[in-house]
Amino acid sequence: MCGAKAGGPDASTIKPGETTIQGQVTRDGEPVTGYVRLLDSTGEFTAEVPTSATGQFRFYAAEGTWTVRALVPGGTADRTVVAQQGGLAEVAITV
């Protein structure tokens, strides 16, 4: 189960008790706009959101191991993240 919300993460909008995966996509220290996909532990597509103008993204997901894939002009990059029930997992992706 995953809910995706477009736009930049704002800590005040995190839902208490929800398992949250959020982060930022950058290149050479600058934010990059594009899309971020959430893949489950078997590599299956689960959700996709656009990044904000500042390269930020957020997913609400079940606990477990996930792959976060940035798809931006000129590159892609994957990061593995382990989300814990009710926790916040921060992901920095450099492409």
The string of pLDDT tens digits covering residues 8-67 is 555 556 666 789 999 999 999 999 999 999 999 999 999 999 999 999 999 999 999 999
| pLDDT tens by residue, 65-89 | 999 999 999 999 999 999 999 999 9
Please tell me which residue, 43 or 1, carries the higher pLDDT value: 43
This prediction's pTM:
0.82
Q: Which CATH number fits domain 25-83: 2.60.40.10, 3.30.420.40, 2.10.260.10, 3.30.465.10?
A: 2.60.40.10
Q: Where are the domains of the chain?
A: 25-83
Buried b (16+ CB within 10 A) or exposed e, 56-90: bbbbbbeeeebbbbbebeeeebebebebeeeeebe
